[in-house]
Structure 1
Amino acid sequence: MKRRDFFNKSATGAIAAGLIPVSSQAAEPSSSSGERTSDQWLQLGTGQMGLPDRKKTVDADVAVLGGGLAGMCAAVAAARNGAKTILVQDRSVLGGNASSEIRVHVNGVTHLRPKGIPERETGIIEEILLHNRFHNAQESYPVWDHVLYDFVTREPNLDLMLNTQAIEAEMAGSTIVAARCWQMTTETKITIRAKQFIDCSGDGLLAATAGALYRTGREASSEFDERFAPKVADGWQMGASLLLSTKDMGKPMPYEPPSYVIKYEAEKSHPKRKISPYEGGIWWIELGSEFDIIADQEKNRHKLMGYLHGVWDYIKNSGEYPESANHVLDWVGTLPGRRESRRFIGDFVLSEKDLTEHRHFEDAVAYGGWSLDEHCPGGIENLEDPPSYFHDHFSKVYEIPFRSLYSKNISNLLFAGRNISQTHIALSSSRVMGTCSLMGQAAGTAAALCVTKTIPPRELAQQHINELQERLLRDDAFIPNRPANDDADLAKTASLIFASSTITGDAALLNDGVSRDVDDQVHHWQSDGLPAEVQLEWEHPVSLSKVEIKCDTNVKRNILMRKDSRVSETFTNTVPEELLKALEVEARVRGKWVSVGAEEKNRTRLIGFQFKPVEVTAIRIRAKETYGCENAKLFEVRCYA
């Protein structure tokens, strides 16, 4: 059977573990594609011989391939914006490189120079990190997996398929008609038909089989005028790493390496290959590739396991780290976390100077600010080189355009994550998961709009980019240099905004379109003590049914889970004390104040209250309690009919 005919005989809506009597099936030859034509199944419960019917077809508006944080944010964004969405993940857990299988920190714009201050991501990724702070105070990675599972499965318009890989695209010209998938745990062939596809899988197998243009390796410096690129293009891709964590047992613990250990030659190592602290892992136990890093995965995995134990053997038995005497390996990775493979080509290729010169894009939908952090090409096999070349550091964020998030030649294909349209050097910064999550929310929101308007992503970019940006800003994404200006927001028509008390800022700033303080410019109102009130007045009655508030979570302090549980000026390991916990919204109706919404245990920065339409002349927001601060701080108030 030809590869393109794979799954062609799938039964729509078939139950995954059903039984088809042999007599109902025409005899078919066995095939290497996995067709179950010669299965000899005697089902004793029914007394029948038959074939297992493990094929099904499902339909959706948007199919998201890849359940890392970019894919999660894409799927949730699409679902919340009205698209029936399916999220496909090839592992048994969500989170990708952040999951318990790999355990990479969810960095983003984590350390802007010169003081290491973040410009933290908001929107869906912040919701995820806050959800973890409320449900995983112990900072357990296995529990984090379940937090992510809860975050996705609670969405009513979103279906999740775990242990499932999209392995081939079914095409009609330049349009993807369906994704042919294999679910390992149920031995089921699944065909997903959708209107828009978003490949957030990192490696991008579905996109590649669709014929989407892509490249691997390093561009020559002359192609995009990149100062940090090599003079001659080559095939090198940043490597995959294995991490470890250790535990102090309180008594001497000897260590004997396994048979597959590869000796660590410390005397050959570059001084920047720091070993201490090692308790939470050593990120440079890494292997790159100069040709096909995907094909090399299993070979590299085995070698990385050997290198990991070689480094640990050196720590334990060389005598250089006597403080390790009581330490044991508490957890070791077996799934390498990959940084780079395919990069798909869109209508715009993001490159080094777009980042370092902070170029402005009219179609900006996301941002980044991690350092230009290009890892040593050979990884641990190039010991004499530094593990990473930190080419440049940022003092402010850069923009990411929507034109880099969809395919140049496949009409209904979008991307988010490390596989977007960018150069190797640009990837060295944008690949971190906080930044990838912003791309995911943008791609998911765009896909839902494409479904609603029955248009491809390119047309959305050319004709409706303002609508996409306004939707993202309303959903608490931040777009640099792009204030919100939603014509439907009735708060902008209020004749007066005032507060019961003010210690910093001004209540009038709550509808200036910027929902955080940026570049030392104030865009907030902060109360002087609690409780406190903000009131919006209209000269004539307006019909309202929704009030949306953006409160403070201190985006200048990181809330990602870390193995070292860091607490400092720029990191916290608890729920942000600035977050508003209890509040009430009242409306003045025919001269009387009536409650239209209240929350006693708020857990998000974006707080929405929806109620039956009512004619009002004023809205009053009463902030009652935070999670620790004595004052409440708000950044935006919106009102909608």
Structure 2
Amino acid sequence: MIQEEASAKRTPKTIESAADLVIVGGGLTGTCAAITAARAGIKVTLIQDRPVLGGNCSSEVRLWILGATSHMGNNNRWAREGGVIDEIMLENIYRNPDGNPLIFDTVLLEKVIQEINITLLLNTAVFDLDKKTGNGNESDEIEAVHAFCSQNSTKYKVSAPLFCDASGDGIVGFLAGAAFRMGAESMEEFGEKFAPDKAYGELLGHSMYFYSKDAGRPVKFIPPSYALQDITEIPRYKTFNPKDFGCRLWWLEFGGRLDTVHDTEKIKWELWKVVYGAWNYIKNSGEFPESENMTLEWVGTIPGKRESRRFEGDYMLTQQDVVEQKTFEDTAAFGGWSLDLHPADGVYSDQSGCNQWHSKGVYSIPYRCYYSRNISNLFIAGRIISATHVAFASTRVMATSAVGGQAVGIAAALAKKYNCSPREVGTQHLEEYQLELWRSGQYLPQIHIADPADLVQKARISASSNLHLSELPGSDIWNVIEHSVAQMLPVTASIPAITIQIEALENTVLEVELRRSSEVFNHTPDITLETKSIPLSAGKHEVSLEWSAGVTEACYVFVCLMKNELLKVQYSDKRVTGILTVFNATNPAVSNYGKQEPTEDLGVDTFEFWCPQRRPAGRNLAFRLSEPITLFETKNLKNALHRPISAPNAWVAAFTDENPSIKIEWNEEVTVSKIELVFDTDSDHPMENVIYVHPETVMPFCVSDLEIADENGVVIGKISENHQTKQTILLDTPVSTRSLQIRILSKHAQVPAALFEVRCY
């Protein structure tokens, strides 16, 4: 029994602790930052003001995670984000292909609690902080944060030499006095032609979603008194329907004219009014008789936030950096979502819900965007990084924010290692920083990485076979060329003739274009090398296409069969790492209408979209080549590239190799204690965590089982039931050997075995 006499004012229970890094904000960004830093060996306290992790992608909000892949609706091939976010997405699709947001919560939580270096504080909100003082003056360093947990009525004071604000609204940066901006810059300040005017609005609003379900019997709905009574107040009210639910209602947005930090509760109530008013319209207007048996299953209780403060770093990313794909010496992450602005009036606007403009490929984000320019020990991550309002329109999405969190996690580990500031990591330890980022799985566009510790770099590599791609055999599938389709092929100089199978439904002409991208690191087919017009009579034809054009550097070419609904082309069931078909179709969800054509000078490019289809569609064309493509050799295993870019960058075995293996040999004995392997998990697949139902739990290109033996044939490591991009084998006892053999024990029936990388330490 506890009994206390009356007393003076009491203070809550207070727990004081210390860490190497305090991360405030347990959304996807803070979660990825915490896991990365913890794995790099530093002690992390992760403070999250909600009962679950994930922020906008949690079950509380239920927004799908997207980034450079953009629903497979742009020209960013093989662009899914790597590292921790890739690991999370692959684990989720393995366990949760139906996109249950509650299961995704468990995936995030499990990843965090498995890291012994992370102390997690849920339901805990930071409300104050201390800054260091010297000579009686306040310094530019944070010393500790103060937080309160409403569930256990406990205050926390957490001290650290380093802090990361991943809170979304930037509470730590705000309290610390970090320089920030809110709203849109003028076009004149940075020369950004897409900068909005005040009529369009300077802030993106919040959104709130609902889920519905069929109850199997008639369900009555009586709206609450606060529901919007006249749904026609919303210009887009006719777009509400019983079929859409969850974040397909992303345009159910409000608040861009208000203070998106301090007016959040006011915005939430307005969104509730709209949600319940919309459901009343669906149920009771008589327009949707199919809704009779439907009921509301879930409505968000907190809004998903898009924009509030943006903090200033040593560099501010701009529209031009995104569109022109600027190269930075200190690249730490990348993005690829469109420049995606929304009218500030949201659902009450008579304009389109978004205004999206894509770049021709992924763009780099410099490390200087990830720390405060005036608070010396503060990292910034997520949607609050140092970017203009226009650049933020792309960097704000969660997968891009997640790789920014990874960039911060590695930087914090180096700052601890060298007892230096976040800024000094970039100015004094950049080469090591980028190497460690790359080792963690981060893709750094146009940055060359050399790993001197990797023993494989000094080895000879051979294989039981190497794919010499001369054909993909035909299947029973013949599809009408409803949309122009292109077979992407990697080449280095001459372009082999390609033979395809065509059926003409009546006399017609096959139009063919040979294209490539103006930049080898892009996959936008914006340069036409050659065109052909081939008259065809009704019936089936074997068509051989020979080219006089060539290329001077490794790149992908696109053999484009232009739209003609009088023609069918034969497809293959075979799939190969780094080989793909793309279609000049549309994807309105990301403002892809086949071609991007700015109606005025907005500072963005005009180009066509050529995008893949989701499996089980998206097959390659059936074809024969006059000369085999031999770009799948073992040398790719040590070229430091984790994905196809201008070439496949993978070792691929021959189709006929039933027991694929790789042999790594050294001239002298080496001692191996760790082996890392990088697999092909189809970085074209967006793997949306909600709404979409995915056809596979393991990507068909991914090797699931292998074993590794030393020079005496003794098996020293195994991988079983793999579904991840990266796997590490830590040997209990280091092995001294002159060779290793990697034996692939299983592969997909229609896909030859492939690996991107093998590293030994």
TM-score range for the pair, normalised by the shorter chain length: 0.7 to 0.9
From 501, 505, 512, the counterpart of 2:465: 501
Question: In the alignment, residue 752 of structure 2 is paired with which amino acid?
Answer: N
8 Å contact kept, 1:217–1:234: no
Write out per-residue CA displacement over residues 593-641 of structure 1, whole angstroms, 9 at most, x where no aligned residue: 322211223242111112223322112111212477643210011111x
- 5+ residue gaps, structure 2, are 133-138, 469-631
Return the match for 2:22 from 60, 63, 75: 63
- Find the partner of 2:729 among 599, 602, 609: 609
Partner amino acid, structure 2, of 1:155: E
Alpha carbons of 1:242 and 1:231: their partners in 2 closer, same or farther (altered >3 Å)?
closer
2:703 matched residue in structure 1:
580
Residues 333-344 of structure 1 aligned to structure 2 (within 5 Å): 333-344=300-311
Counterpart in 2 of 1:139? 99
Cα offset, 1:577, TM superposition: 2.7
Structure 1 residue aligned with 2:379: 414
In the alignment, is the contact (CA less than 8 A) between 1:74 and 1:443 conserved in 2? yes
Partner of 1:45: none
Shift of 1:527: 1.9
In the other structure, the counterpart of 2:435 is 470
Which residue identity does 1:87 align to in structure 2? L
Residue of structure 2 in register with 1:558 after alignment: 686
- For 2:282, what is the secondary structure of its paired residue? helix
Give the superposition deviation at 1:87: 0.8
**Residue aligned with 1:491, SS:** helix
- For residues 208-607 of structure 1, what are the structure 2 equivalents within 5 Å? 208-230=174-196, 236-266=202-232, 269=235, 277-280=243-246, 281-382=248-349, 384-390=350-356, 392-494=357-459, 496-503=460-467, 505-519=632-646, 521-528=647-654, 529-565=657-693, 567=694, 572=695, 574-588=697-711, 592-607=712-727
What per-residue deviation string (whole Å, max 9, x for no partner) do you get for residues 368-395 of structure 1?
A: 111111111111222x1211112x1133
Q: Which residue of 2 aligns with 1:14?
A: none
- 3-state DSSP of counterpart to 2:746: strand
Residues 598, 55 of structure 1: alpha-carbon distance in 2 compared, 3 angstrom cutoff:
same
**Residue 318 of structure 1: CA displacement?**
2.8
Which SS does the other structure have where 1:621 is aligned? Answer: strand
Separation of aligned partners in 2, 1:222 and 1:19: 66
Change (3 A) 1:188 1:267: closer
Residue of structure 1 equivalent to 2:67: 108
* Cα deviation code 1:321-375 (max 9, x no counterpart): 3333332212111110000111011000111111011111111111111111111
Cα shift at 1:217: 0.6
CA 1:198–1:268 in structure 2 vs 1: closer, same or farther (change >3 Å)?
closer
- Is 2:307 aligned against 1:181? no
Bigger Cα displacement from structure 2, 465-474 vs 280-289: 280-289
SS at 1:545's partner residue?
Answer: strand
Q: 1:230: how far off?
A: 2.9
Decide whether the 8 Å contact of 1:575 with 1:627 is kept in 2: no
Residue in 2 that maps onto 1:636: 757
What is the CA deviation profile of residues 219-276 of structure 1, one whole-angstrom value per residue up to 9, with x for unaligned ones?
1011111111135799731111000111123444333221111135448625996757
1:21-61 superposed Cα distances (whole Å, 9 cap, x missing partner): 889xxx7x53xxxx52xxxxxxxxxxxxxxxx611111110
SS of the equivalent of 2:325 reads coil
SS of the equivalent of 2:713 reads strand
Distance in 1 between the 2:724 and 2:397 partners? 23
1:532-581: CA deviation from partner (whole Å, max 9, x where unpaired): 1111111122222111110110101122223142x4xxxx5523232222
Distance change (3 Å), C-alpha of 1:564 and 1:313: farther
Q: Which moved more, 1:74-83 or 1:136-145?
A: 136-145
Q: Any stretches of 5+ residues in structure 1 without a counterpart?
A: 1-17, 37-52
Q: Which amino acid aligns with 2:387?
A: Q
1:256–1:274 Cα change, 3 Å: closer
Aligned match of 2:476: none
Q: 1:97 aligns with which of 49, 56, 78?
A: 56
Asked if 2 retains the 8 angstrom alpha-carbon contact of 1:273 and 1:284, the reply is no
**Counterpart code for 1:425:** V
Q: Is this contact kept in 2: 1:177–1:193, CA < 8 A?
A: yes
Task: Provide the alpha-carbon RMSD of the alignment.
Answer: 2.4
Tell me how far apart the structure 2 counterparts of residues 479 and 272 of structure 1 sit (CA, whole Å): 44
What's the TM-score once normalised by structure 2's chain length? 0.74
Q: How many residues align?
A: 587
The answer for the alignment partner of 2:739 in structure 1 is 618
Q: Name the CA distance, whole Å, in 2 between partners of 1:283 and 1:116.
A: 23
- Sort the Cα spacing of 1:508 and 1:60 in 2 relative to 1 into closer, same or farther, 3 A: same
Contact 2:49-2:123 at 8 Å conserved across structures = yes
- Deviation digits for residues 501-555 of structure 1, max 9, x if unmatched? 2226111110011110014x12001123443111111112222211111011010
**Which moves more between the two structures, 405-414 or 133-142?**
133-142
Alpha-carbon distance in 1 for matches of 2:189, 2:419: 36
Match for 1:636: what amino acid? Answer: E
Distance between the aligned counterparts of 2:393 and 2:704, measured in 1? 38
